[in-house]
Amino acid sequence: MLTKEDTHKELFTMGHTGCSGCAQSMAVKLILEVLGKNTIATTATGCLEVFSTRYPESSWRIPWIHSLFENSAAVASGIEAALKITGRKNGTTVLAQGGDGGTADIGLQALSGMFERGHDVLYVCYDNGAYMNTGYQRSGLTPFDAYTTTSPSGKQSFGNSRPKKYMPQIAMAHRIPYTAVASAGYPVDLQKKIKKAASITGPKYVQIDVPCTPGWKYEPRYSVKIARLAVQTGLYPLFEAEYDKIISVKKISKKVPVEEYLKLQGRFKHLFKDEAGRMEIEKIQKIADENIVKFGLL
């Protein structure tokens, strides 16, 4: 039985200013439930950092530090090294967090260094597919053809013209002991992966698909549904890897056409206007189909 008083004791507390329906805040809550009190966290600049620490308030009930936009992994490396050298590691999980921009773009160098040096840090990337905190600019993890304020759709363009970066594979290429891709649409799977990551010594990378209501332009009630559709279409394959080998994938029971996913989101609405848009949807279907084959999702 969970009482109202219990809910006020969560390690990541309510009272933060994330948007109504923010899947990123849901993921953080689920992660801290698994990691527990003996955790020290860093957070790169971005939505999570801003909405969870509106001074003099904080949603964190664990030691927490705001790094810069680019160096969450470097700050976490320092914390881990200091705990080790002073003999105070004692099973503490060092959790480094960043958005997709803070991870795959500006923070990539710091993250690569953390992997290379072999720090015992769990790095979590909250992937909402753009720089949301500053007004929905394109990142390296923005999906193909999505509208963002720096990849607008119009007469000359269907939105983001570049493919989404294979960030988990970049982590795997460092041959770290554990890499996983999870989704706010599958909370049990997400918590299982975080638990496993925390049990492994060394650098770990977990990337989570976290829909964003104003950035993706949909009604808040669909956050979980959209996250699930991303998986069921094959557009966001969930898997686990040890070193550079994939060891498990989340199978999809029945392939869902990408339209089902795209049509719920305003960031893709320009694809539903005419024949040219329909051809673009076919390209997105091809991305999903290729994922299904590559990862053996069906």
Partner 1 sequence: MDFDFKIGIIALPGAALANKTGSFANEVPVFKQKTCTGCNLCIYYCPEGVVYGDKKTKIYNFDADYCKGCGICAEECPVDDIEMVLVEK
Using CB under 6 A, list all residues that contact ligand TPP: 45-48, 69-70, 98-102, 126, 128, 131-134, 139
The CB-of-22 to partner 1 minimum distance in angstroms stands at 6
19 contacts ligand SF4 (rule: CB under 6 A): yes
Task: Give me 138's structure tokens.
Answer: 């394109």
Work out which of 144, 187, 196, 217 binds partner 1, going by CB under 8 A. Answer: 187
Q: Which amino acid is at 40?
A: I
Nearer to partner 1, 59 or 142 (CB): 59
Measuring CA to CA, which residue among 15, 22, 8 is closest to residue 224?
Answer: 22
Strands 178-183 and 121-127: unpaired
Contact partners, residue 162, CB within 8 Å, separation at least 6: 142, 144
Work out which of 139, 142, 213, 232 binds ligand SF4, going by CB under 6 A. Answer: 213
Return the ∠ at Cα 271 (arms to 269 and 275), rounded to 5°: 140
Work out which of 128, 148, 153, 223 binds Mg ion, going by CB under 5 A. Answer: 128
Q: Which amino acid is at 152?
A: P
In whole angstroms, give the CA distance from residue 293 to residue 251.
11
With contacts defined by CB under 6 A, name the span among 111-119, 173-181, 209-217, 235-243 that binds ligand SF4: 209-217
209 touches 261 (CB < 8 A): no
In whole angstroms, give the CA distance from residue 215 to residue 131.
9
DSSP state of 137: B
The CB-of-222 to ligand SF4 minimum distance in angstroms stands at 12
Work out which of 220, 257, 266, 296 binds partner 1, going by CB under 8 A. Answer: 220
Nearer to ligand SF4, 116 or 219 (CB): 219
Strands 239-242 and 204-209: unpaired
With contacts defined by CB under 6 A, name the span among 55-63, 154-162, 213-221, 283-291 that binds ligand SF4: 213-221
With contacts defined by CB under 8 A, name the span among 70-78, 80-88, 218-226, 238-246 that binds partner 1: 218-226
In whole angstroms, give the CA distance from residue 21 to residue 210.
10
Measuring CA to CA, which residue among 146, 112, 124 is closest to residue 29?
Answer: 124
101 touches 46 (CB < 8 A): yes
The CB-of-45 to ligand TPP minimum distance in angstroms stands at 4
The CB-of-45 to ligand SF4 minimum distance in angstroms stands at 12
Mask for 67-106, x = binds Mg ion (CB under 5 A) = --------------------------------xx------
With contacts defined by CB under 8 A, name the span among 118-126, 221-229, 270-278, 289-297 that binds partner 1: 221-229
In whole angstroms, give the CA distance from residue 195 to residue 35.
7
In whole angstroms, give the CA distance from residue 280 to residue 54.
41
Residue list 30-69, contact with partner 1 (CB under 8 A): 30, 52-62
In whole angstroms, give the CA distance from residue 72 to residue 123.
9
In the complex, the residues that contact partner 1 under the rule CB under 8 A are 1-4, 6-8, 10, 12-23, 25-26, 29-30, 52-62, 187, 213, 219-225
Binding site for Mg ion (CB under 5 A): 99-100, 128, 132
Residues that bind ligand SF4 (CB under 6 A): 18-19, 22, 24, 47, 51, 128, 132-133, 212-215
